[in-house]
């Protein structure tokens, strides 16, 4: 866990209103209508992800809002923030560990249920594959490059990434340079086919949170459509070494 020496930056991670904890909440929430309002609202949402580790309760959120507002307005802090850095580190570590263990437990249960669905199979590695449409084209090897449409979800159904989020363009990549779950699962598909891959965390992003939005020990679900298989481009040729210097007589 990195030191929170710049805790002000972490406080900036909160989606906030400029109010203190001892005042009643505003009767009306800020509007998010104009392009400028949407821009600043987006800033709050994006920065809030920096303190997901703390899993703040509503009461804790109010305190963070007060500290943030005091910092922004240069009001005198109620306490010396530097005196609480070690305690903040401890809280962050404890909650990170708790969230990781819960994610692992929930993920294991999800994988077990997914493996029992009709047409699904669990591999020796622990992932679950369900072919939802059989393809008729080429079947890739790990050394091939593939073109796919995809959608990635958490086990609660929340979509965290998809090819549609990248302009609707298919993704193209060498199959041996992605998470192991994809390398294994996509090799079982043929062009024109679709499959659902349920990836345990050790075949996805593992025990560490992956910025910007993959929590630790997350079991992930991908819907994949294989569009094409191409041979991966050869590695660049090694540069030709210069000739040895000629010794002058």
CB–CB of 38/46 below 8 Å? no
Q: Strands 220-231, 144-154: parallel, antiparallel or unpaired by DSSP?
A: antiparallel
Q: Distance (Å, rounded) from C-alpha 62 to C-alpha 175?
A: 46
The closest alpha carbon to 128, from 199, 177, 77, belongs to: 199
H or E element that contains 132: strand 128-133
**Residues with catalytic function:** 150, 160-161, 179, 205, 222
Q: How far is CA 171 from CA 153, 162, 164, 167, 224, in A?
A: 17, 9, 10, 10, 11
Helices and strands, counts by H and E, the chain: 5, 7
What token pair was written down for 108?
A: 């294991």
Q: Which residues contact 50 (CB under 8 A, 6 or more apart)?
A: 9, 10, 12, 13
What token pair was written down for 105?
A: 């437990």
Q: Distance (Å, rounded) from C-alpha 176 to C-alpha 44?
A: 36
Q: Which residues contact 194 (CB under 8 A, 6 or more apart)?
A: 131, 132, 133, 135, 223, 224, 225, 226
């Amino acid at each position: 866990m990195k030191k929170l020496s710049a805790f002000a930056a972490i406080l900036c991670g909160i989606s906030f209103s400029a109010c203190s904890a001892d005042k009643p909440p505003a009767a009306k929430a800020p509007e998010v209508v104009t392009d400028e309002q949407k821009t600043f609202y987006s800033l709050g949402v994006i920065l809030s992800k920096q303190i997901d580790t703390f899993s703040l309760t509503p009461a804790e959120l109010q305190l963070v809002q007060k500290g943030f507002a005091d910092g922004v307005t240069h009001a005198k802090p109620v306490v010396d923030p530097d005196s609480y850095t070690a305690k903040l580190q401890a809280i962050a570590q404890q909650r990170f560990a708790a969230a990781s263990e819960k994610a692992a437990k929930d993920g294991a249960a999800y994988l077990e249920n997914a493996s029992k669905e009709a047409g699904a199979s669990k591999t020796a590695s622990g992932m679950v594959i369900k072919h939802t449409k059989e393809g008729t084209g080429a079947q890739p090897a790990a050394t091939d490059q593939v073109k796919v449409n995809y959608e990635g979800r958490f086990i609660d159904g929340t979509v965290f990434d998809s090819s549609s989020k990248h302009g609707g363009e298919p993704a193209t990549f060498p199959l041996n340079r992605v998470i192991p779950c994809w390398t294994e699962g996509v090799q079982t598909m043929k062009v024109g086919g679709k499959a659902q891959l349920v990836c345990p965390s050790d075949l996805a992003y593992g025990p560490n949170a992956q910025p910007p939005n993959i929590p630790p020990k997350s079991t992930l679900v991908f819907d994949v459509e294989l569009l094409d298989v191409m041979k991966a481009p050869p590695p660049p040729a090694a540069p030709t070494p210069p000739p040895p210097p000629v010794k002058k007589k």
